[in-house]
Amino acid sequence: MRATLYVHKVKWVMSEYILIGYVRRSNAGTQIKISINTKAFANAETYETSDGESYVPMTIDLSRLQRVINGERAVTTVIQEGDA
């Protein structure tokens, strides 16, 4: 089975969320698998630390992740939050 990822922006309240990927539990239930869309990641905002390293800040909702871990949900999203 092949999943299709739709990269889109969702505006909500005063923030903009960019879908970066998905998180799901492994079939064995012993790991969390993270799938990141390469185009979304390449276009994501970055920040640089004082030592010169660059990072892409991403967010996973903790309550939704816990539901994935518990088997109550199949998948949840990895997003990047920005200003609208």
17 pLDDT above the threshold of 60: yes
Q: Answer yes or no: pTM beyond 0.85.
A: no
Contacts of 24 (CB under 8 A, 6+ apart): 32, 33, 35, 68, 74, 75, 76
* Residue 55 in domain: yes
* Residue 56 in domain: yes
Mean pLDDT of the chain: 85
User: Could you tell me the residue range of the domain that residue 21 belongs to?
Assistant: 9-83
Residues 28-78: tens digit of each pLDDT: 989 999 999 999 999 999 999 999 999 999 999 999 999 999 999 999 999
Q: In a 10 Å sphere around its CB, with 0-12 CB exposed, 13-18 middle and 19+ buried, how is residue 80 labelled?
A: buried
* Residue 3 in domain: no
Q: Contact 24/33 with Cβ under 8 angstroms? A: yes
* Residue 1 in domain: no
* Residue 24 in domain: yes
* Residue 2 in domain: no
Domain count, the chain: 1
